[in-house]
């Protein structure tokens, strides 16, 4: 992948797509790629992994129900989302524009969903799930159609991350959703390639988002911005279905995306498959994606044979002098005080799950990083607030060179008596090199939903996802509509 200001060499530079009359633009090529997709195009590995990722998306969605900002979004859907009915997770119905907004809020908010990793960019591929789920039900589709829509959305967004430099040019990774949401939803709704192209063009030219969303101090918008992208994309989609046209040269035209990225954005969609899900990584811990290995390293160190680092054995963190983390540059930039800055104080979930100091401190103290580690009470408790001040991070050039094929991390803990303890890992369970199995996804689902839904309903949902190739999406949605979470029980989430 070239850097933000480096052009491809002549030997590897792609042939330009000219946007003049009679020539296909990037948006038109993408639309044709989306419109022709069939379930038979998916590899056996994709068909194996799609239910794993879909169950993971549902686990995150169920866990989000009742959280304060999520409840505000639910009120928004109730007040403005009336119309043709699409079933909502958690009960009720809404029009498809607001249903897509709601389902995208749910999958994204707890920040525990899957990602795609590129050398200098990232994205949450699960941001595509809510739109695919909504469109598949609206179309009366089968579970296979839902799987295809998820595969299509994941692939489009990850290929744009791989071939573009959105974040290094100041755009957020939700910017690519204008392309992937409408590619997937347009295909599931049976729209023509021309309609899909116009929908993508309208959304891409009007719904760009900025990477400052990820900069410190973090706000609640971090967990809602992708849902706003879904809202805009679906509105554009239905306008395109009514015949409204958009700027098809939004990528390569004058002052288009090429100009903003300062390089050509070229994906040869005719040569692409639909395999984005097999390159996505599932989070093992409820924290920013690039911190996963460092957290895993800390937990393994804390559980090592030295009882002084075993929290369960009564280890006193007051004896720690320092905790030093060596991580890839991208981990440092997002969470360690690099490009995106450092939080002056960590007092909220949004700040804590993107702050490496907090994440390593709470991992040592609690032996895990799950939603329970992000309640208001846990984030502000004196033990973790004191310990996080002793944590520092620095980029390791060797680790940076191995990323994203691997995500190495090293933790060094120094104690008051002079003892130094070190541990290093190369990756974590959930990366494409060590993908989640169905049983891994079930374990995570059970952890995230145990106090949210009754065990019988949980089993029915798991069985439905495991049998997606044999059911209708409406059958799955009927189960999701039976979920009810008491908002009063989640006032502090």
Residue 22's pLDDT is: 47
**Structure-token match 């969605």, residue found:** 61
Residue 312 above 80 pLDDT?
no
With H, G, I as helix, E, B as strand and everything else as coil, classify residue 461.
helix
Residue 290 has pLDDT above 80, yes or no: yes
Sheet bearing 320-327, strands edge to edge: 391-395, 320-327, 409-415, 420-425
Nearest to 173 by CA among 214, 233, 220: 214
Per mean pLDDT, which range of 176-180, 301-305, 416-420 is the poorest? 301-305
Residue-wise pLDDT for 7-52, tens only, equals 333 333 333 343 334 469 999 999 999 999 999 999 999 999 999 9
pLDDT band at 305 (very low <50, low <70, confident <90, very high): very low
Q: CB-based contacts of 39: which residues, under 8 Å, 6+ apart?
A: 144, 145, 147, 148
Query: Residue 134: pLDDT band by 50, 70, 90 thresholds?
Result: very high
Strands (E) in 213-279, as ranges, are none
Better pLDDT: 313 or 281: 281
pLDDT at 166: 95
CA–CA separation, 447 and 208 (whole Å): 35
Average pLDDT of the residues in 319-333: 95
What would the two tokens of residue 49 be? 């992994």
pLDDT per residue as tens digits for the range 363-373: 999 999 999 99
* Its pTM surpasses 0.75: yes
Q: What angle do CA 206, 102, 490 make, to 5 degrees?
A: 130
To 10 degrees, the CA torsion angle through 14, 19, 21, 24?
60
Express each pLDDT in 465-480 by its tens digit: 999 999 999 999 999 9
Mean pLDDT of 340-368: 93
> What is the rounded average pLDDT of the residues 396-410?
95
Percent of the chain topping pLDDT 90: 82
**Among 221, 121, 136, 122, residue whose Cα is nearest residue 186:** 136
The more confidently predicted of residues 485 and 290 is 290
Phi-psi region of 300 (alpha: psi -120 to 50; beta: other; left: phi over 0): alpha
At 283, give phi and psi (nearest 5°): -75, 135
- To the nearest whole number, what is the mean pLDDT of the chain? 91
Q: How far apart are CA 414 and CA 375, in angstroms?
A: 29
DSSP state, residue 399: H
> What gap in Å lies between CA 232 and CA 34, rounded to an integer?
19
Rounded Cα distance, 204 and 236, in Å = 10
Residue 2 in this model has a pLDDT that exceeds 60: no
> Of 415, 354, 410, whose CA–CA distance to 387 is shortest?
415
pLDDT for 125 equals 97
Determine the pLDDT at residue 315. Answer: 55
Q: Residue 19: its pLDDT value, please? A: 39
Q: Is the confidence at residue 350, as pLDDT, over 70?
A: yes
Query: Using 50, 70 and 90 to split pLDDT, how confident is the model at 487?
Result: low
Q: What is the pLDDT of residue 23?
A: 65
Token pair for 164: 């573009």
For residue 356, give the H/E element and its range: helix 356-366
Asked whether the predicted pLDDT for residue 405 surpasses 80, the reply is yes
Q: pLDDT at residue 86 above 90?
A: yes
First vs last C-alpha separation in the chain: 39
């Amino acid at each position: 992948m070239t850097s933000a200001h480096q052009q491809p060499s002549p030997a590897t530079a792609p042939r330009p797509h000219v946007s003049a009359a009679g020539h296909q633009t990037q948006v038109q090529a993408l639309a044709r790629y989306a419109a022709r997709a069939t379930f038979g195009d998916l590899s056996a590995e994709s068909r194996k992994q799609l239910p794993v990722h879909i169950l993971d998306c549902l686990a995150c969605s169920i866990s989000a129900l009742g959280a304060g900002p999520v409840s505000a979004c639910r009120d928004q859907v109730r007040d403005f989302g009336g119309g043709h009915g699409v079933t909502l997770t958690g009960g009720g119905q809404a029009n498809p524009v607001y249903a897509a907004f709601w389902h995208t809020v749910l999958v994204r908010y707890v920040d525990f969903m899957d990602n795609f990793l590129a050398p200098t960019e990232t994205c949450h591929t699960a941001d595509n799930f809510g739109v695919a789920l909504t469109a598949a039900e609206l179309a009366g589709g089968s579970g296979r159609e839902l799987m295809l829509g998820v595969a299509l959305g994941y692939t489009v967004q990850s290929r744009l991350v791989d071939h573009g430099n959105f974040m290094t040019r100041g755009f957020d990774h939700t910017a690519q959703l204008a392309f992937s949401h409408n590619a997937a939803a347009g295909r599931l709704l049976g729209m023509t390639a021309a309609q899909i192209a116009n929908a993508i063009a309208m959304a891409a030219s009007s719904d760009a988002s900025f990477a400052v969303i990820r900069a410190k101090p973090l706000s609640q918008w971090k967990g809602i911005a992708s849902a706003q992208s879904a809202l805009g994309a679906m509105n554009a989609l239905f306008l395109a279905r009514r015949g409204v046209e958009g700027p098809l040269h939004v990528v390569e035209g004058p002052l288009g995306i090429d100009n903003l990225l300062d390089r050509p954005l070229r994906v040869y969609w005719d040569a692409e498959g639909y395999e984005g899900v097999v390159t996505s990584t599932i989070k093992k811990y409820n924290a920013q994606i690039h911190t996963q290995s460092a957290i895993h390293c800390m937990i393994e160190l804390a559980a090592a044979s030295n009882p002084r680092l075993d929290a369960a054995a009564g280890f006193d963190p007051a004896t720690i002098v320092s905790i030093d983390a060596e991580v890839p540059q991208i981990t440092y930039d997002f969470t360690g005080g690099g490009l995106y800055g450092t939080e002056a104080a960590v007092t909220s979930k949004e700040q804590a799950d993107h702050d490496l100091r907090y994440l390593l401190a709470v991992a040592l103290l609690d032996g895990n990083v799950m939603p329970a580690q992000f309640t208001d009470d846990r984030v502000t408790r004196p033990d973790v607030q004191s310990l996080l001040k002793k944590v520092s991070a620095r980029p390791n050039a060797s680790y940076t060179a191995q990323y994203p094929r691997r995500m190495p991390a090293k933790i060094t803990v120094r104690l008051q008596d002079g003892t130094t303890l070190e541990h290093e890992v190369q990756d974590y369970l959930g990366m494409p090199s060590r993908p989640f199995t169905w049983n891994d996804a079930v374990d995570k689902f059970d952890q995230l939903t145990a106090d949210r839904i009754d065990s019988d309903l949980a089993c029915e949902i798991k069985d439905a996802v495991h049998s997606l190739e044999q059911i209708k999406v409406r059958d799955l949605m009927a189960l999701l509509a039976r979920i009810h979470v008491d908002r009063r029980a989640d006032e502090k989430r």
